Amino acid sequence: MGRQPVCFIFAPMTRWENYMNAAAGIIDEYDGSLPLHHFLKSFFKARPHMGSRDRRRIQQLVYQFYRLGKWQEQMPVQERMLLGAFLCEQSSDALLNFFKPEWNERITDTVSDKLNFLELSWDAAEVFPFLSHLSEGITPGAFTLSYLQQPKLFIRARPGKKAAILRLLETAGVEYETIGEHTIALPNGIKTEQILPDKNTYEIQDLSSQETGQRFQPKTKERWWDCCAASGGKSILLHDTQPSIQLTVSDVRSSILENLRKRFADAGIKNYDARVLDLTKPVTGLRPFNGIILDAPCSGSGTWGRSPENLYYFSEKKIAEYAALQKQIAKHVTPLLEPGGRLVYITCSVFKEENEDAVAFLRNECGLEIEESGVIKGYDREADTMFVAVGRK
């Protein structure tokens, strides 16, 4: 008899192993050159066989990897993903139970207890290699530990709409928390457009961002300019505070102003002047304003809990570049303040070069009297961290 053929039997990979391999492949391919959520969208579009549950869990693994910043970078990628999952998750996880059942048994422990169990120490300087640039009052340990948890989804109920919004959330069985008069905190992943289809009733806006609006204080029929308006979130907040203002909005990007126009239409705002302006150059053709909102282009470092890939890929040299841009814009904007007018300077940055140093420039070079300045902490309440200053001419 001839030799019988040898049959090799390969056990198929489990779903969890497939997830880990896919996530590791994403991390290997991704280089930080575009936002991670855009990269993931293209990645999953090319793999239509992956269901929504598959995509969601793979995406979680990738984000949890980047939430560790540069800490424990020497670990193999898949081990580091499991470490991220263990520290970020708070309820029993089937994937973690498959690979590390002894970790999954302790999933509800505090982060401190988890680190003690693993005999690891949290190194804030490795997680966030830019600690020397932090603004005053930010606690490095608490700030960096906040990266292990994605900030909540916050919405701002527009005037008179809060009760109706809460009824819809309760009907849909959505857990929520109300904060102050207008803010509602929701779990991440809620599809607001399905539960709250009327876009005229609310704005998606972070808690700290909403709180910057407390500094606007517009008066009836004043002239206000949101000079770096982007898609118009601050302008809508300003308009809701005082609908009678004469509003001008501008941005350097015409495409983003198209988004603003659509957002304004949804919000029912019709009377405004929108302009494409490059504020790195002197501004002409505008009358002076009673108030100016300078929501400056910045590093976005106070929002990296939502985009933790920046912890890994951000270049320190960009801090100085953003700081120089902010000063250039401030120099060209402040001459358009009326005497006695107020400028509200805002960043979503935690870097002193973009915050305290910018305030010093507004005072010393632009001649503004600084009435208030400081960090709006979000890292201790599952929100973004921002900076705001108010200067008067």
CATH classification at residue 311: 3.40.50.150
228 among known catalytic residues: no
Same domain, 62 and 173: no
Residue 98, pLDDT above cutoff 80:
yes
Same domain, 175 and 219: no
Q: Six-digit token pair at 346?
A: 């805002």
Per-residue confidence (pLDDT) for residue 241, from 0 to 100 = 96
Residue 307 lies in a domain: yes
Cα dihedral 214, 216, 221, 223 in deg (nearest 10): -160
Same domain, 243 and 388: yes
Per-residue confidence (pLDDT) for residue 9, from 0 to 100 = 45
**Least confident among 8-17, 42-51, 156-165:** 8-17
Residue 5, pLDDT above cutoff 60:
no
Q: State pLDDT tens for residues 21-37.
A: 999 999 999 999 999 99
Question: What does pTM read for this prediction?
Answer: 0.93
- Residue 295 labeled ligand binder: yes
Per-residue confidence (pLDDT) for residue 150, from 0 to 100 = 93
Same domain, 216 and 333: yes
Domain end call among 120, 145, 177: 120
Instruction: For the chain, report the end-to-end CA distance as a whole number of angstroms.
Output: 101
Domain end call among 186, 203, 220: 203
Q: How confident is the model at residue 142 (pLDDT cuts 50, 70, 90)?
A: very high
Same domain, 242 and 108: no
Q: What are the Cα distances from residue 139, in Å, to 104, 128, 136, 264, 310? A: 30, 12, 9, 38, 19
Per-residue confidence (pLDDT) for residue 12, from 0 to 100 = 64
Same domain, 110 and 188: no
Same domain, 300 and 168: no
Residue 136 lies in a domain: no
Residue 8, pLDDT above cutoff 60:
no
Q: Six-digit token pair at 117?
A: 């169990």
Same domain, 251 and 344: yes
Domain end call among 203, 221, 245: 203
Q: State pLDDT tens for residues 76-87.
A: 999 999 999 999
Residue 129 lies in a domain: no
Per-residue confidence (pLDDT) for residue 1, from 0 to 100 = 42
Per-residue confidence (pLDDT) for residue 189, from 0 to 100 = 85
Distance CA 153, CA 382 (A): 9
Distance CA 147, CA 65 (A): 11
Q: State pLDDT tens for residues 181-219.
A: 999 999 988 899 999 999 899 999 999 999 999 999 999
Residue 134 lies in a domain: no
- Residue 380 labeled ligand binder: no
Per-residue confidence (pLDDT) for residue 10, from 0 to 100 = 46
Is 364 in contact with 187 (CB distance < 8 Å)?
Answer: no
Residue 147 lies in a domain: no
Per-residue confidence (pLDDT) for residue 13, from 0 to 100 = 79
Residue 6, pLDDT above cutoff 70:
no
Distance CA 231, CA 295 (A): 12
Same domain, 277 and 241: yes
Q: State pLDDT tens for residues 289-321.
A: 999 999 999 999 999 999 999 999 999 999 999
Per-residue confidence (pLDDT) for residue 253, from 0 to 100 = 93
Distance CA 251, CA 9 (A): 62
**Which position among 88, 227, 228, 348 bears the catalytic label?**
348
Distance CA 134, CA 130 (A): 7
Distance CA 388, CA 74 (A): 38
Q: State pLDDT tens for residues 249-305.
A: 999 999 999 999 999 999 999 999 999 999 999 999 999 999 999 999 999 999 999
Residue 44 lies in a domain: yes
Closest CA to 360 of 333, 338, 385, 389: 389
Q: Six-digit token pair at 277?
A: 């302006």
Total domains present in the chain: 3
Residue 227, pLDDT above cutoff 80:
yes
Mean pLDDT of the chain: 95
Residue 292 lies in a domain: yes
Closest CA to 199 of 245, 232, 151, 175: 232
- Residue 278 labeled ligand binder: yes
Q: pLDDT: is 8 or 103 the higher one?
A: 103
Same domain, 256 and 107: no
Same domain, 98 and 193: no
Quote the domain boundaries for residue 325.
208-392
Residue 80 lies in a domain: yes
Distance CA 13, CA 376 (A): 47
Same domain, 107 and 22: yes
